[in-house]
Chains A and B, each alone.
Chain A
Amino acid sequence: MLVINNGRVIDPATNTDRPRDILIDGDKIAEVAEPGRLATVPGRETFDAAGLIVAPGFIDLHAHLREPGQESSETIETGTRAAARGGFTAVCSMPNTKPVNDNASVTRFVLDRAKATGAVHVWPIGAASVGSQGQAISEIAGMKDAGIVAVSDDGKPIATAKLARQVMDYCRSLDLPVIEHAEDVSLAVGAVMREGVTSTRLGLRGMPAAAEAVCVARDVQLAELTGARLHVAHLSAKASLEQVRSAKSRGLRVTCEVTPHHFTLIDEDVSYDSRFKMNPPLGAREDRAALLEGLADGTVDAIATDHAPHEPALKDVEFDRAPFGILGFETALGLALEQLVHAGRLPLGRMIELFTRGPARILGIERKIAAGQPADLTVFSIDRAWTYRVEDSPSKSRNSPFDGKQFRGGPVATIVAGRVVYRTN
């Protein structure tokens, strides 16, 4: 039995923010109590969380673990170890592997590998269409049976409005969220960054913010038509956010996530360094401002990393040729603290909600720090100074624009199913 004692427990799900000790028995939380009492029982191991925050385990709705098929960039083992270092206790793995996770056998493979090698929970997301090709709807019920938590053709949008409607209709009956990579691809042909003054100056082909917003508009209409739960992935544009805000005000079941890089960086930060190339691309200054506002006012439901490892041989090339995506797990909390909490934009509790209760609700589950709940906990500091060194990452890839960045506050320990899977020294 393990006691996490002396910590400041913050749990938005139970509206808690007070000193509490937590007793863990096996993979469950056994008791939550006033500080002092639980640790005095002999034979109990203790984790001294004095000066630290203890939160429900962070959930990342959006990650690419690359297994099966692209193990030279990441595996479930290396990816989940990086996730653990980032304070995540569960990550949702996107289906754009090789082969695509579009049927129950692939789903089971992912779950088996996660069970055998994963440091944190892996919750697979199934492809909406066969091979994510946008032609035929995939075997969603079979995948749900095997354990998927949502569907998405991430990496690209569900190709047509017709198919998106079918998928939403079907997922409504299966009670699964549909996660959309919102992009009108015809407006983004050949584009490598956001269209604007910077893309024009650099001579890099840009995609307009409208490429995302046009697709969000389509999907919100279809969510209204079908009653489906629509979740907009990695939302990056002010115009898209306004549509989500308006959909919410109309009572539609529409949610969205924002990545740390989109609320931290803007298109003006792009040069020819491919570590700044991701899709959706970094937005304009006013987009970032709108995202920060949406994170504060509740329009944004979750922070998700879009952790997208690419091995150096693929990523370290000309900007035009480099694949989209950057690492995300290990810098997410540090960036959120810096941009949201230390900058005074959000209370700490709201930031924690964006990593915990927010994503849980999108998946239709409830996670809280209470007796009988899974013992998934994230312990972090809000003031410890540290420097992110990508060469120390357990990830197989190195594509982070935040290498060498100094942070104030970050993960200290990650507890998954009662086991301490990561702890700083």
Chain B
Amino acid sequence: MNTKILVIEDEEAINDVIAMSLRATGYEVVSFLDGDDASASLETGHDYGCAVVDVMLPGKDGFALLPELQKYEIPVIFLTARGGLQDKVRGLTKGAEDYMVKPFEMLELLVRIDKILKRRGSFQEKITIYDVVIDREKRVVTKGGQEVYLKPMEFDCLMMLVRNKNRALTRSQLLGALWGMEFEGETRTVDAHISRIRKKLGFEDVIKTLPRIGYRLEVEE
């Protein structure tokens, strides 16, 4: 069963974008447009892995929702347009797990959700894609029961794609996330790694190349 994420954001356009991105990455999403509705729904269902909550909401605002969410031990990521230190400190000391200032990049939100889930243990250790099983803890990949040896960098690269499955990653995003640098020109390193992963796992059709954008690991749900 996929992890459920609660999204509370009054701006429909933003709410939809978050929901779409999360769904594509394999999460189940429940979204609300105002605080009162969200608060009411928590009584009946609260098995969320994480909640993404806007601070400024009609009805109950983010800070008012925080204790309720904490009651059910749901970690909270605040979204806000206010980037002042005071607001950040207030949000975090009140018990929010993380804090994101608008405008933000979806990838960052996904990474942060991932981190929180990992910390909270509500995190799948083994991921299965077709006949490939990835054990995150042991860093072992098997294909049809046979272990396939991946170099550490190749494993990280695969994990990055898997974590963002059904979602395109640009070469520079991959480069920045894996090699910790952001420079153009060396994107061929990424290409080389991807092609080796494809060959080793038989993922020629699973990892798609998107012209001018990058790569996407596609899994039919």
Q: Do A and B come from one complex?
A: no
